């Protein structure tokens, strides 16, 4: 089975994170460690999670000068992460440096993806930072730049998935958050989509947080997500 579900470990302590991790099966999902958990617990917790058999998406969204990003990406490669990301707006040279920093890992190298436009930014926010394009045009432009720089894919909202899937090659990986079943609380997500719809419209991996992490039985919720997409997996 292709493990398409990436469970977001949005916690601030190792204890809470490991409680959840220990209720999940590494054969059924991958895990995402973001800025909150990594800032609190660092590489030690990453190693403990990997030691339990899980592949980890290190969601630190690097954005700096090319040399600094390349070095950080290389360290993440040495830690054996499965996937990591940078901001596409750091530019082509930064993305190429990040890509090259993983070459030494050969076929074992982590997948390297980029964030295009944060989904928290609307048109007015882009104008404030000097971007006159619509968010959709900017997403598309940065996704193409990511592809040209030789990265493996992008994080994109469910709303952007069909367009990007139509514009970009099949092997360009799309990773989509904002996934909810009909019965799930929407929370602060603005545009949500069901798991099956997300995969049908071209997502390769689905990032799911609260619908699994806050469920009475996280593993049961994970099984439900997996069975919802089993027909296209
Ligand atoms: O709990 P929920 O399913 O909303 O969590 C979604 C996860 O995906 C969180 O870790 C969130 O930071 C992340 N994410 C997102 N929207 C983006 C990028 C990342 O929700 N555009």
Q: For the chain, which domains are there?
A: 5-232 (3.20.20.70)
For residue 233, pLDDT beyond 80: no
Other C-beta atoms closer than 10 Å to the C-beta of 40 total 14
Q: H helices within 129-160, ranges in order? A: 135-148
Q: Is 8 in the pocket of ligand 1 (CB under 6 A)?
A: yes
CA-based torsion, 107, 110, 114, 120: positive or negative: positive
Instruction: Name the band, by pLDDT with cuts 50, 70 and 90, for residue 94.
Output: very high
35 is catalytic: no
- Ligand 1 centroid vs 87 CA: distance in angstroms? 15
Q: What is the pLDDT of residues 26-54, one digit of tens each?
A: 999 999 999 999 999 999 999 999 999 99
Q: Is 209 in the pocket of ligand 1 (CB under 6 A)?
A: yes
Contact 186, 158 (CB under 8 A): no
Q: What is the DSSP letter of 110?
A: P
Distance CA 19, CA 229 (A): 26
The single residue of 27, 35, 47, 61 carrying the catalytic annotation is 61
Measured by CA distance, the residue closest to atom 8 of ligand 1 is: 177
Q: What is the pLDDT of residue 111?
A: 98
- Name the strand (E) or helix (H) holding 30: strand 30-34
Instruction: Name the band, by pLDDT with cuts 50, 70 and 90, for residue 189.
Output: confident
Tell me the average pLDDT across 203-231. 97
For residue 144, pLDDT beyond 80: yes
Q: What is the pLDDT of residue 43?
A: 98
Instruction: Name the band, by pLDDT with cuts 50, 70 and 90, for residue 101.
Output: very high
Contact 55, 42 (CB under 8 A): no
Q: What is the pLDDT of residues 159-168, one digit of tens each?
A: 899 999 999 9
Task: Tell me the average pLDDT of the chain.
Answer: 96
The pTM of the full predicted model, rounded to 2 decimals, is 0.96
Q: Is 210 in the pocket of ligand 1 (CB under 6 A)?
A: yes
* pLDDT above 70: percentage of residues in the chain: 100
Beta carbons within 8 Å of 225's beta carbon, 6+ residues apart: 5, 179, 181, 195, 206, 208, 211, 212
Q: What is the pLDDT of residues 69-78, one digit of tens each?
A: 999 999 999 9
Distance CA 138, CA 97 (A): 22
Tell me the average pLDDT across 151-161. 95
- In the chain, % helix, strand, coil (3-state, to 5) comes to 45, 15, 35
Distance CA 152, CA 171 (A): 8
Instruction: Name the band, by pLDDT with cuts 50, 70 and 90, for residue 153.
Output: very high
Q: Is 207 in the pocket of ligand 1 (CB under 6 A)?
A: yes
Q: What is the pLDDT of residue 53?
A: 98
């Amino acid at each position: 089975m292709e493990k398409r579900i990436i469970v977001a470990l949005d916690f601030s302590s190792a204890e809470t994170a490991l409680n959840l991790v220990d209720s999940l099966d590494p054969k059924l999902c991958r895990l995402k460690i973001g800025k909150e958990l990594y800032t609190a617990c660092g590489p030690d917790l990453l190693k403990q999670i990997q030691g339990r058999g899980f592949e980890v998406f290190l969601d630190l969204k690097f954005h700096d000068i090319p040399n600094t990003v390349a070095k950080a990406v290389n360290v993440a490669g040495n830690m054996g992460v499965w996937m990591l990301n940078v901001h596409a707006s750091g530019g082509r040279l930064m993305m190429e440096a990040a890509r090259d920093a993983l070459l030494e890992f050969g076929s074992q190298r982590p997948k390297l993806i980029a964030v295009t436009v944060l989904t928290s930014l609307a048109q007015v926010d882009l104008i404030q930072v000097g971007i006159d394009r619509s968010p959709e045009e900017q997403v598309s432009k940065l996704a193409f730049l990511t592809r040209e720089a030789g990265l493996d894919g992008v994080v994109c909202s469910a709303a952007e998935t069909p367009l990007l899937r139509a514009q970009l090659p099949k092997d360009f990986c799309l990773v989509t958050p904002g996934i909810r079943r009909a019965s799930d609380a929407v929370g602060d997500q603005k545009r949500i989509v069901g798991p099956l719809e997300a995969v049908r419209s071209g997502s390769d991996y689905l990032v799911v947080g609260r619908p699994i992490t806050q469920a009475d039985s996280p593993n049961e919720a994970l099984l439900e997500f997996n069975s919802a997409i089993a027909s296209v997996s």
